[in-house]
């Protein structure tokens, strides 16, 4: 495996390493199950181990790798069975998230959701868009006033990040389509329309599943 990071004064070494590794994983240059060694990556990319360690933590949060106490960082292998399990649970829990959020969400949170979607409409980079997507959905989980439910759903959303990135990278899911659904969801929440919010959320989840390319079983 040969990795080279491009020069970009606007990004830190940490960001450059993270973006380089992310792209290599999503394009298949780094295969699922492959072990990533901090010292080796630092040498290849001509950086210290600190930005590599920070980058690996970010990628673990996105679900692209898993950090093993004994083996280090292992590239995650997406599978059809995992996809179905994650989204089956999201279908059960996220409509409930929307109903509880509508009962408690504030005007300030609605304004923040609007600002996030305005930025998402202009964003062309999939990985930056993913972060905005996470911020948008987090507003609703945090508005539920249910710490345990929010933690469970946010964990599922983090696990889904890999599958969303794969769909965006391979062109089977578009940010324009997702953005349109996000606006519909925000409109339903603003109108305090529980049934509409639940319906839009289910459709949003279903379309992400339907957009997945063929994945191996595990």
User: Residue-wise pLDDT tens for the chain (218 aa)?
Assistant: 556 555 554 478 999 999 899 888 877 788 888 999 999 999 999 999 999 999 999 998 878 898 987 778 999 888 888 889 999 999 999 999 999 999 999 999 999 999 999 999 999 988 789 889 999 999 999 999 999 999 999 999 988 888 888 788 777 789 999 999 999 999 999 999 999 999 999 999 988 778 776 666 76
Could you tell me the domains of the chain? Answer: 13-75 (1.10.10.10), 80-210 (1.20.120.530)
Q: What is the pLDDT of residue 5?
A: 56
Q: What is the pLDDT of residue 10?
A: 47
Q: What angle do CA 98, 103, 104 make, to 5 degrees?
A: 100
Q: What is the pLDDT of residue 184?
A: 98
CA distance linking residue 198 with residue 71, whole number of Å: 42
DSSP secondary structure letters along 129-169 = HHHHHHHHHHHHHHHT--HHHHHHHHHHHHHHHHHHHHHHH
pTM: 0.76
Query: Contact at 8 Å (CB) between 44 and 3?
Result: yes
Q: What is the pLDDT of residue 136?
A: 97
DSSP secondary structure letters along the chain = ----PPP-TTS-HHHHHHHHHHHHHHTTSS-TT-EE-HHHHHHHHTS-HHHHHHHHHHHHHTTSEEEETTTEEEE----HHHHHHHHHHHHHHHHHHHHHHHHH--HHHHHHHHHHHHHHHH---HHHHHHHHHHHHHHHHHHT--HHHHHHHHHHHHHHHHHHHHHHHTTSS-HHHHHHHHHHHHHHHHTT-HHHHHHHHHHHHHHHHHTPPP----
């Amino acid at each position: 495996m040969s990795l080279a990071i491009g020069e970009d004064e606007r990004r830190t070494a940490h960001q450059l390493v993270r973006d380089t590794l992310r792209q290599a994983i999503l394009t298949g240059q780094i295969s699922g199950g492959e072990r990533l060694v901090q010292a080796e990556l630092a040498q290849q990319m001509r950086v210290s181990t600190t930005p590599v360690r920070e980058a690996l933590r970010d990628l673990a949060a996105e679900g692209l790798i898993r950090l093993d106490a004994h083996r280090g960082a292992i590239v995650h292998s997406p599978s059809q069975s995992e996809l179905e399990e994650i989204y089956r649970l999201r279908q059960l829990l996220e409509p409930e998230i929307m109903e509880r959020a509508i009962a408690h969400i504030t005007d300030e949170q609605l304004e923040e959701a609007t600002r996030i979607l305005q930025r998402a409409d202009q964003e062309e980079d999939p990985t930056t868009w993913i972060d905005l997507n996470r911020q948008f959905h987090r507003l609703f989980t945090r508005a539920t006033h249910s710490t345990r439910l929010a933690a469970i759903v946010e964990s599922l959303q983090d696990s889904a990040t890999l599958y969303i990135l794969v769909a965006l990278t391979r062109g089977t899911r578009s940010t324009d389509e997702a953005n349109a659904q996000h606006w519909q969801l925000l409109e339903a929440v603003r109108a305090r329309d529980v049934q509409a919010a639940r319906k839009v959320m289910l459709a949003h989840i279903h379309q992400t599943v339907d957009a997945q390319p063929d994945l191996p079983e595990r």
